[in-house]
Amino acid sequence: MSRRRAAALLVFVCAAASVAVARRARPTVPVSDIALAELYTRDASRARLDVGPYSRFGWHHPGPLLFYALAPTYVAGGSNTAALYAGALVLTISAAAIAWYVASVQGGAALATSIALAIALLAIRLPSLVASPWNPHAVVLPAIALLSLTAAAAARRGRGVLAIAALVGSLIAQSDVALVPFVAALGVVALARAPRRAIGDAALVAAAAWAVPIAEQLRHSPGNLAALARFFAASGREHLTADAALATWADAITAPFRPGLTLARGAIVEPSIVLPHVLLACALVAAAGVAAAVARRRGSPVVAWFAALAALSSLVGLLSSMRIEPPVSDHFAFWMAALGLADAAAVAALAPWPAAAEPLLVCAAAVLVGAIGLRDVDRAAHGQFAITADAPSAPNFAASIRQYLAVRHVHRPLVRIDQDQWWLATAILLELDREGVAYAVETDWMAMFPPRFAPTGAEDAELTLAAVGQHRDLAERRGNVTVDASSFIHVEAIARPRS
In this structure, of 158-162, 373-377, 406-410, 468-472, the range with the lowest mean pLDDT score is 468-472
**Can you give the three-state secondary structure of the chain, one letter per residue?**
CCHHHHHHHHHHHHHHHHHHHHHCCCCCCECHHHHHHHHHHHHHHCCCCCCCCECCCCCECCCCHHHHHHHHHHHHCCCCHHHHHHHHHHHHHHHHHHHHHHHHHHHCHHHHHHHHHHHHHHHHHCHHHCCCCCHHHHCHHHHHHHHHHHHHHHCCCCCCHHHHHHHHHHHHHHHCHHHHHHHHHHHHHHHHHCCHHHHHHHHHHHHHHCHHHHHHHHHCCCCHHHHHHHHHHCCCCCCCCHHHHHHHHHHHHHHHHCCCCCCCCCCEECCCCCHHHHHHHHHHHHHHHHHHHHHHHCCCHHHHHHHHHHHHHHHHHHHHHCCCCCCEECCCCHHHHHHHHHHHHHHHCCCCCCCCHHHHHHHHHHHHHHHHHHHHHHHHHCCCCCCCCECCCHHHHHHHHHHHHHHHCCCCCEEEECHHHHHHHHHHHHHHHHCCCCCEECHHHHHHCCHHHCCCCCCCEEEEEEECCCHHHHHCCCCCEEEEECCCEEEEEEECCCC
In this structure, of 217-221, 234-238, 252-256, 413-417, the range with the lowest mean pLDDT score is 234-238
pLDDT beyond 60 at 45: yes
What per-residue confidence (pLDDT) applies to 233? 85
Question: Looking at residues 135-142, what average pLDDT do you find?
Answer: 97
pLDDT beyond 90 at 420: no
Q: For the chain, which residues make up each domain, given as ranges?
A: 3-237+354-381, 394-495
Question: Looking at residues 276-300, what average pLDDT do you find?
Answer: 97
pLDDT beyond 70 at 408: yes
Tell me how far CA of residue 5 lies from CA of 10, 13, 97, in angstroms.
9, 12, 11
What per-residue confidence (pLDDT) applies to 115? 96
- Band (1; pLDDT cuts 50, 70, 90): low
In terms of pLDDT, which residue wins out, 255 or 233? 255
- The Cα–Cα gap between 490 and 499 comes to 27
Contacts of 1 (CB under 8 A, 6+ apart): 9
User: Which sign, positive or negative, has the C-alpha torsion 184, 175, 154, 292?
Assistant: positive
Whole-number average pLDDT of the chain: 94
What per-residue confidence (pLDDT) applies to 488? 82
pLDDT beyond 70 at 492: yes
Instruction: Find out whether 370 and 93 touch, Cβ atoms under 8 Å.
Output: yes
In this structure, of 11-20, 106-115, 279-288, 484-493, the range with the lowest mean pLDDT score is 484-493
What per-residue confidence (pLDDT) applies to 356? 79
What per-residue confidence (pLDDT) applies to 499? 55
Question: Looking at residues 398-420, what average pLDDT do you find?
Answer: 94
Percentage with pLDDT > 90 across the chain: 83
Contacts of 134 (CB under 8 A, 6+ apart): 33, 34, 37, 387
**pLDDT digits 0-9 by tens, 173-207:** 999 999 999 999 999 999 999 888 899 999 999 99
**pLDDT digits 0-9 by tens, 426-467:** 999 999 999 999 999 999 999 999 999 999 999 999 999 988
Q: Which one, of 135, 163, 435, 122, lies nearest residue 261 by Cα?
A: 122
pLDDT beyond 60 at 224: yes
pLDDT beyond 80 at 300: yes
